[in-house]
Amino acid sequence: MPIMNITIINGPNLQLLGLREPGIYGSTTLEEIYQRLQGVADSLDVKVRFFQSNHEGEIVDRIGDCLGDGTDGIVINPAAYTHSSIAIHDALKAVSLPAVEVHISNISSRESFRNVSMTAPACLGIIAGLGTNGYEWALRAIIKHLKQNRK
């Protein structure tokens, strides 16, 4: 079976993981998450690409670029854009690639404005509140979905 290509997209302020509100987000850095995911991907013979931006338009552009770069599936943490970005929702719908949304914190148990995800309806599912381990589970979920739906 050919190698799968998964694009992992992170939204605003996630470059500050490890420093930003460690009581909510923990002490793991984004680079440490990437290193762990690379190890998981290598063990599963999957290629991962990482992208982080604080700018909504760059995230939308990166999702659109997935159509031409061989991406088979997307893992996305839209961060604050989760609750406001119809543009990211529309980009995910437009590319028609399977995506799993991931959040380090449980967005449903936080401030009321964080309780609704504008982007989740464009995804297969959402993993939230399980810390940085959620990234690995999202990666494994998208790979399993792709394997089950390959012809």
Higher pLDDT, 119 or 112: 119
pLDDT score of 108? 67
Q: What is the pLDDT of residue 82?
A: 94
pLDDT at 107 > cutoff 90 = no
Instruction: State the DSSP H helix or E strand holding residue 111, giving kind and residue range, or none if neither.
Output: none
Sign of CA dihedral 115, 118, 122, 127: negative
Which pTM was predicted? 0.92
Taking only the tens place, the pLDDT of each residue in 68-99 is 999 999 999 999 999 989 999 999 999 999 99
Q: Where are the domains of the chain?
A: 4-149
Tokens linked to 22: 């460690």
Question: Over the chain, what is the mean pLDDT?
Answer: 91
Superfamily of domain 4-149: Dehydroquinase, class II (3.40.50.9100)
Is the CB of residue 74 less than 8 Å from the CB of residue 88? no
Instruction: Please write the tens of the pLDDT for every residue from 7-40.
Output: 999 999 899 888 877 777 777 899 999 999 999 9
In the chain, DSSP assigns E strands to: 4-10, 46-52, 73-77, 99-103, 125-128
Active site residues: 25, 103
User: Which residue's entry shows tokens 């399980």?
Assistant: 130
Of 25-29, 43-47, 54-58, 128-132, the one with minimum mean pLDDT is: 25-29
Calculate the CA dihedral of residues 109, 115, 121, 123 and round it to 10 degrees: -40
Other C-beta atoms lying within 10 Å of the C-beta of residue 147:
11
71 touches 6 (CB < 8 A): yes
Q: Which residue reads 């079976």 in tokens?
A: 1
**pLDDT for the residue 49:** 97
